[in-house]
Amino acid sequence: LRMPKYAVVTANKIEMAGLTFWDDVWDGTILDAFSKITVTKSLLGHTTVAKQPLENSGVQSVIDAGSLKSKGKGYIDTYKPRVLVASINRDLGQQGIVKGDVVSHFNGEPFIGTATELSELIDSRFEGEILTIVFNADNAVAEALKRRSMV
């Protein structure tokens, strides 16, 4: 299960240089919270995102908890855009952030936008300003944690 994470970074053009994001789409399922998201970059700069769902009886029992339909993927919403971490800098890496984490909040507010908009938002901050970013606090993870407590 992808767990929520909180990171604090200082706006600094040199430090933030290694941080990149990727536009993705959430399929509206709880199963997504149990998927391993792998982001790779080729030597030519091509980014590839692979999602590998973890499907086993334990995960299925969490998805089925509180659901009217068993053996499903746990659809709770429709497809929605989201932003993934494509590459990290040293500071975020030391705070446990990994490629494939989902950006859910920026400076205390839910983040709904594109990878480009998030990069521009970070770049627009004053040098030395403290930034807070929350990862993996999305609907899929919240619902998975809620249902896990019922099992």
Q: In this structure, what token pair is assigned to residue 128?
A: 């030395």
- Report the pLDDT value the prediction gives residue 151, as an integer from 0 to 100: 83
Convert the pLDDT of each residue in 38-68 to its tens digit: 999 888 888 999 999 887 888 888 888 877 7
CA distances from 94 to 8, 15, 49, 97 (A): 11, 13, 23, 7
Phi-psi group of 108: left, alpha or beta (phi > 0 → left; psi -120 to 50 → alpha; rest → beta): left
Q: Does pLDDT of 114 surpass 80?
A: yes
- Report the pLDDT value the prediction gives residue 64, as an integer from 0 to 100: 87
- Report the pLDDT value the prediction gives residue 54, as an integer from 0 to 100: 84
pTM score over 0.95: no
Name residues whose C-beta falls within 8 Å of residue 55's C-beta, 6 or more positions apart in sequence: 31, 34
- Report the pLDDT value the prediction gives residue 80, as an integer from 0 to 100: 94
- pLDDT category at 14 given cuts 50, 70, 90 is low
Task: Tell me the pairing of strands 80-87 and 35-41.
Answer: unpaired
Neighbours of 111 (CB within 10 A): 17
Convert the pLDDT of each residue in 77-113 to its tens digit: 989 999 999 999 888 999 999 999 999 999 999 999 9
Do residues 17 and 88 lie in contact, with contact meaning Cβ atoms separated by under 8 Å?
Answer: no
Convert the pLDDT of each residue in 120-139 to its tens digit: 999 899 889 999 999 999 99
